Structure 1
Amino acid sequence: MGEFRRAALLVPLADVGADANAAGGVMSAVSGGIRWLYAFTDEEALFRFARARGEGDREWPYLTMLGARLVDAVVPMSDRPTGVAVNVADCDGSMLFPPVAGIVPDSFAVDVDPDADGGRGAVA
């Protein structure tokens, strides 16, 4: 987890009309009620993703940010539980960081009960 938080990731920006609810204006997808923010370790990984979507011929604007900034600042901007999907077009190198305690802030983790333990939160 420490390596993920220190890593500089490429985070593609969402098309304004296509993903209006994206957290912080970054590209994402919703699966099983969880929003997954896309992030990539380098431009080649982002290009593989674009090509897999049949969109390798267009420009893909992106932000570069630390993994820590993505989970600590962008995840809280989302409209639902949110995790990070890294290098999703790579069969062997993809990683998922779900919205659970220890990855996202506890107040946005799906496995923390905010009413337990006197309101301080405890793992459910």
Structure 2
Amino acid sequence: MGLIGQIVSYREGLGDPARLVGEFRRTSLLVPLTTTDVDSDAERPFVAAGGLMSAVSGGIRWLYAFTDEEALARFVHARGEGGHEWPYLTMLGARLLDAVVPMSDRPTGVAVDVADGDGAMLFPPVAGIVADAFAVDVDPGADGGRGAVA
């Protein structure tokens, strides 16, 4: 079915959360890079200088990821940044969750196709999506450190 199909199915109330996360982990996503200086963050607060493009909302860092170049282009245009290109990496969703999220300075999730309204999906930093050590809904001190829902 693919990630887009899983997102649609989930949004229609027919999807399986485990299948959705599994498909996300298997999908190659376009992850925009930044090329800005630290000084320009005031002008473009959704850009983390020198790294992967992200936004911070409610204490959560949201990494932007896109299913294809068209979805990335819609995001660029929605931000009024259509005058220049953004470089990107192609990365499996699993790599984002297993390697990038643990390197972040705060709880981190992934926002997929954020300019696509009903086609967008957030993968928050919760148990079952990110490792328990980085999940905001796991109390590391409870249950002998094995992880209990807080």
TM-score range, shorter chain: over 0.9
Q: Give the structure 1 partner of residue 17 of structure 2.
A: none
Per the normalisation by structure 1, the TM-score is 0.93
Q: Give the structure 2 partner of residue 64 of structure 1.
A: 90
**Aligned partners of 2:98, 2:90: CA distance in 1, in Å?**
15
**Aligned partners of 1:66, 1:10: CA distance in 2, in Å?**
9
Among the aligned pairs, what percent are the same residue? 81
Higher helix proportion, which one?
2
| Ranges of 4+ aligned residues in structure 1 off by more than 3 Å | none
Higher strand proportion, which one?
1
Any idea what SS the aligned residue of 2:31 has? strand
- Please give the residue correspondences for 1:1-124 in structure 2 after superposition, counting only pairs within 5 Å: 1-14=21-34, 15-17=36-38, 18=41, 19-20=48-49, 25-124=51-150
- Point out the structure with max Rg over C-alpha: 2
**Runs of at least 5 residues in structure 1 that lack an aligned partner in the other structure:** none
**Runs of at least 5 residues in structure 2 that lack an aligned partner in the other structure:** 1-20, 42-47
Any idea what SS the aligned residue of 2:98 has? helix
The total of aligned residue pairs comes to 121
Q: Deviations over 1:24-58 (max 9, x none)?
A: x1000001111100000000000000000111120
**Aligned partners of 2:37, 2:73: CA distance in 1, in Å?**
20
Q: Larger relative CO (CA 8 A, sep 6+): 1 or 2? A: 1
Per the normalisation by structure 2, the TM-score is 0.77
**Aligned partners of 1:119, 1:40: CA distance in 2, in Å?**
35
**Aligned partners of 2:53, 2:22: CA distance in 1, in Å?**
24
